[in-house]
Amino acid sequence: MKRIAVTGGAGFLGSHLCERLLKEGNYVISIDNFFTGLKENIYHLKDNANFEIIRHDITEPMHIECDEIYNFACPASPIHYQRNPVHTFKTSVLGILNMLDLARNCGAKILQASTSEVYGDPLEHPQNESYWGHVNPNGIRSCYDEGKRGAETLMMDYHRKYNTDIKIIRIFNTYGPRMNENDGRVVSNFVIQALKNIPITVYGDGSQTRSFCYCEDLIDGAVKMMNSENFIGPVNLGNPFEITVLEFAETIIKMTNSKSEIVFKDLPKDDPVKRQPDIRLAQEKLNWSPKYKLEDGLKKTIEYFDNYLKRK
């Protein structure tokens, strides 16, 4: 039985990861400061004898015994990471420093959940891992974009200097049950607005594109990456199926039988115009490709939010 630490374990993706690792017979330690993570996300796991919950902010050092570390701690939506941009940057940079030191002390393997935002508003399409990105270093999104880029730098430097066993994944837009209702991301926004039959807010003219990956597929890729041999990444994990934001809004309206109208607002500053992963490296090195079609994942997500709103 491996002892596995998951930072951000009470978050949207972190909670799904904890669930998956427990099913595989591991002892799992969820580490979360509950800034955006929710106790309800891991409530169903609390009585599992192999599950431990630690309330801790990874900007502070910590000392536990573990074999693997999945670093998923960091607000991931613009509303949340811009609420306290200094702390967001500290979570990415000081947080990964503390986790890398923990990995060194334990002799543990460590996986960094990086992001497609390291590519910024890309000039290359689709984005592959060799692309260095087009990132504004001093904009309102920089605390997250540059924080994640800095975290990748530290991962590589620890690997080169201390031979730390590292893995880097770059997560593209991911959705599914347990997304935060108020995180401002396009999937949760559109689904909730549609279920409430209120106007669906599209920023810009809706021609910007996104590629949405269902959470179960993403977690499968992360676990495969952690268990891979002789491959440290970075590697893109996402669904290459590309759709415009306007088409996505229309899909949500149709799937929810909503009476919502679509309204248009100004595009936020530095918002990426195109986002699509090149996943050939993940296919080659991890034998990984997403299995969920968009409509199948949306059915589960819509059902989750429908039940959530009825409980409120």
The CATH number for 40's domain is 3.40.50.720
- Residue 190 in domain: no
pLDDT tens track for 121-140: 889 999 999 999 999 999 89
Q: What CA–CA distance (Å, rounded) separates 213 from 218?
A: 7
Task: Report percent pLDDT > 70 for the chain.
Answer: 99
86 contacts 140 by C-beta, under 8 angstroms = no
Residue 291 has pLDDT above 70, yes or no: yes
Question: Given this model, what pLDDT does residue 98 score?
Answer: 98
**pLDDT recorded at residue 272:** 75
- Is the pLDDT at 27 greater than 80? The verdict is yes
- The verdict on residue 54 lying in a domain is yes
Q: Which residues are catalytic?
A: 144
Residues paired with residue 173 on neighbouring β-strands, in sequence order: none
Kindly state whether residue 193 falls inside one of the protein's structural domains.
Answer: no
Q: What is the pLDDT of residue 273?
A: 80
Burial level of 261, CB count in 10 A (0-12/13-18/19+)? exposed
Q: Is residue 301 part of a domain?
A: no
The helix (run of H) or strand (run of E) holding residue 278 is: none
Angle CA 241–141–55, to nearest 5:
90
| Residue 145 within a domain | yes
In a domain, 66, yes or no: yes
**How many other β-carbons are positioned within 10 Å of the β-carbon of residue 266?**
8
pLDDT confidence of residue 75:
82
Residue 151 belongs to domain spanning: 3-177+213-239+276-291
Name, in order, each residue with C-beta under 8 angstroms of 43's C-beta and a sequence gap of 6 or more: none
| Residue 250 covered by a domain | no
Q: Quick check: 174 and 13 in contact, CB under 8 A? A: yes
Q: Please state the domain count of the chain.
A: 1
Residue 178: Cβ within 10 Å count: 21
Residue 270: band (very low, low, confident or very high) from pLDDT cuts 50, 70, 90 = low
Residue 38 lies in a domain: yes
Average pLDDT, the chain: 94
CA 133/CA 83 separation, integer angstroms:
24
Confirm whether pTM is higher than 0.85.
yes
